[in-house]
Amino acid sequence: MSAKTNPLEESLVAPCAPAQPGEASRQPRADATLEVHRNEPVGPWFDWNLGELSAYRELLYFFVWREIKVRYKQTVIGVGWAVLQPVATMIVFSLFFGRLAKIPSGGLPYPLFFYCALLPWTYFSTALTGATGSVVDNQRIITKVYFPRVILPLSAVFSGLIDFAVAFVLLVGMALYYRVTPGPWLAFVPLFLLLATLTAFAAGLWLAALNALYRDVRYVVPFLAQIWMFASPVAYPSSLVPASWRWLYGLNPMAGVIDGFRWAVTGQSPPTLALLGASTFGVMLMLAAGLWYFRRMESVIADVV
């Protein structure tokens, strides 16, 4: 260590004397600007302090930043993993569902059809898994310092976007390879991405809270995601679903996301408004319920995590 004197070594413990004005090195802020932190029992209904969330937005950024940094420091292939996994899945599915089972693919070559859906789906499923474990994985921090706990599933959901961005570049490349030029519909991609993000967040809120209470929930999630994938038009087009049931099918927000995303990239088979409407309604419902449940469980979580 350096030879310079440590100023703190010189100041030995001072006896308990009342503070003299002017003795202080850094005075605390003036009275008028002080925020008040009130802590009371959780109310039964919607109890969100949106102003507080805004005050913590920098921390949200840091959580996402940390998540991404740690993830890429730990993997050898790093960014490559974001591409390798969906490509491998796509090859397998193309072979079995496209070639052998000959699932109709709405006029598109099956690999492209599938990859268009797989991309947002992979993002969703990674975000969901990440969000589920977010509270428990950060149990050390949660029990020591206060910040709005909702930042945890939210940051997990956001950090998946980097992988998505990388894989998206590959998707555009694939589309060009199959000579499917993206049209102006591409502008809708952010919209469907937002829908996927909200869905992952909404479901993540429930799962994060449940996982904190019952630690085996995170093992159920991959299974849940698998079922959910088959309930969404990833491997097959939504046109397979009879028209009269399509609204019910559409309540699954990911149905709207997948169909919409596929259309936005390739311009083929636009999703029906009924489907989109149902999906949007579905996600709003999930979000409201998720936020309510998470808020209610926040205190219990802090006690058991």
Partner 1 sequence: MSAAAIAVSGLGKRYRLGERERYVALRDVLSRAMTAALRRKPGRGTNGNGHLWALRNVSFEVREGETLGIIGRNGAGKSTLLKILAGITRPTEGYSELRGRVGSLLEVGTGFHPELTGRENVYFSGSILGMKRREIDRKFDEIVAFAGVETFLDTPLKHYSSGMQLRLAFSVAAHLEPEVLLVDEVLAVGDASFQKKCLGKMGDVAHSGRTVLFVSHQTSAILQLCPHSLWVDRGGVRAMGPSREVVARYLASLQSGIPGKLDAAVDRRGRGRVRFTRAWLENSEGTPAEHVMSGETVRVVASYESADGAPLVNSRFSIAVEDMLGQPLFLCDTSLGADDSAPRPPSGRVVCTLPELPLNQGRYLLTLYLEANGETQDWVSSAVGFDVSEGNFFGSGRQAPPGWASQCVLVRHRWGFER
Tokens of 293: 């449940």
- The yes or no reply on residue 54 touching partner 1 (CB under 8 A) is no
- The yes or no reply on residue 57 touching partner 1 (CB under 8 A) is no
Which of 110, 84, 92, 93 is closest to 166 using CA atoms? 84
Which of 171, 179, 199, 206 is closest to 255 using CA atoms? 199
- The yes or no reply on residue 40 touching partner 1 (CB under 8 A) is yes
Chosen residue from 46, 49, 66, 226 binding partner 1 by CB under 8 A: 66
The stretch near partner 1 (CB under 8 A) out of 33-41, 109-117, 156-164, 185-193 is: 33-41
A 10 A CB-CB count for 86 gives 21
DSSP 175-198: HHHTT----GGGGGHHHHHHHHHH
DSSP 94: I
- The yes or no reply on residue 23 touching partner 1 (CB under 8 A) is yes
Chosen residue from 5, 39, 54, 244 binding partner 1 by CB under 8 A: 39
Chosen residue from 5, 9, 32, 244 binding partner 1 by CB under 8 A: 9
- The yes or no reply on residue 144 touching partner 1 (CB under 8 A) is yes
DSSP 33: G
Q: Answer for the pair 280, 253: CB distance below 8 angstroms, yes or no.
A: yes
Q: Rounded to whole angstroms, how far apart are CA atoms 185 and 64?
A: 29
- Cβ proximity to partner 1: between 24 and 273 the closer is 24
Residue matched to tokens 């302090």: 49
Chosen residue from 28, 44, 184, 242 binding partner 1 by CB under 8 A: 28
Chosen residue from 209, 217, 264, 291 binding partner 1 by CB under 8 A: 217
- The yes or no reply on residue 51 touching partner 1 (CB under 8 A) is no
Instruction: Please give the residue ranges that form the binding site for partner 1 (CB under 8 A).
Output: 1-2, 6, 8-9, 11-19, 23-29, 31, 34-42, 58-59, 62, 65-66, 69-70, 73-74, 140-147, 210, 213-217, 220, 298-300, 302-304
